[in-house]
Amino acid sequence: MWIQQQFKTRSTDVYLITHPKSGTTWLKGLIFSIMNRHRYDFTSHPLLTFSPHDVVPFMEVDLFKSIPIADPEILLSPRILATHIPYTMLPESIKNSSCPVVYIGRNPKDVLVSLWQFMIKLKPKDMPPISLEDAFDLFCKGISPCGPVWDHALGYWKASIEYPNKILFLKYEEMKKDPLMYTKRLAEFLGHTFSLEEEANGIVEEIVKLCSFENMRNLQVNKTGQHRIREANKNDVFFREATVGDWKNHLTTEMVEALDQITEHKFDGSGLFF
Ligand code: A3P
């Protein structure tokens, strides 16, 4: 694949990697805000008028598949690039670089529900909505946009244990519990630690508030805007419930048992859990 062989990293790059529906939009906002906090104040911040997906592009979607092709070489440094590529297929140049990689994983049951709802929103008008049963079957077979969610998370989990200074593995559920602490942790990992003065001035709180689901969902750009390149994509498709455990409202007992069994089997002995 072209992207794997030809992609060139820069020493200043930052990579955000996720399985779809695991918190990509949130992390795009947080990383962008942390790294650019000296350039903007919170009254005229780009995230008030641009979707997080416009300020942090997806490598495989916005840069290599869009027409006209946007050349990643023209992006200014430091580049923040997002991708859903599984670890086994990640360009060697990223693996071999010293660029930080942030991964966020999420409970597979919530990923399934989120993905199912997302597929319904993105379906062409003349197609019937996919049923939960069909979405569940595909998901369990590992037929989802970037392969099985379990293998995706496991690939980065193992790599994060092997290269703890390069890969930060975050969990959506933990971030929801303590976004302030994790925003500081994220900044530290990216080499943009908040100063005592910034902390005293409430900058971390401002960033957490700016990127919070409640705030982002209600911004006009995320309610009625469209993706700059992929115009068919409405920005509001990325904002739904943002809760932990929404699967309880949708999945049957049999579905839960089957998913738990796969999770147990796949993660067995790895130390990974959600
Ligand atoms: P739900 O469908 O469970 O509500 P991604 O950004 O990877 O596509 O993931 C989308 C999920 O993250 C959706 O979950 C969405 O509601 C949630 N989400 C979007 N923005 C968020 C934010 N700022 N904070 C927390 N969760 C957010």
Which residues touch 164 (CB under 8 Å, ≥6 apart)? none
**What is the tens place of the pLDDT at every residue in 171-229?**
999 999 999 999 999 999 999 999 999 999 999 999 999 999 999 999 999 998 887 66
ipTM of the complex: 0.99
Residue among 45, 53, 84, 152 flagged as catalytic: 84
Nearest atom in ligand 1 to the alpha carbon of residue 211 is 23
Q: Is 211 in the pocket of ligand 1 (CB under 6 A)?
A: yes
How many angstroms does the Cα of residue 168 sit away from the middle of ligand 1?
A: 19
Q: How far is residue 114's CA from residue 44's CA, in Å, rounded to a whole number? A: 31
**Per-residue pLDDT reduced to its tens digit, 80-118:** 999 999 999 999 999 999 999 999 999 999 999 999 999
13 Cα: distance to centroid of ligand 1 (angstroms):
24
- Is-catalytic flag, 250? no
Partners of 104 in the beta sheet?
A: 18, 170
Its pTM stands at 0.95
Query: Mean pLDDT across the chain, nearest whole number?
Result: 93
CA dist 193 and 219 (Å) reads 28
pLDDT digits (tens, 9 = 90+) for 149-184: 999 999 999 999 999 999 999 999 999 999 999 999
pLDDT digits (tens, 9 = 90+) for 29-49: 999 999 999 999 999 999 999
Burial class (CB in 10 A: 0-12, 13-18, 19+), 101: buried
Averaged over 248-260, what is the pLDDT?
98
Q: Using a 6 Å cutoff on CB, does residue 23 contact ligand 1?
A: yes
Peptide bond just before 68 cis, omega within 30 deg: yes
* pLDDT higher at 28 or 226: 28
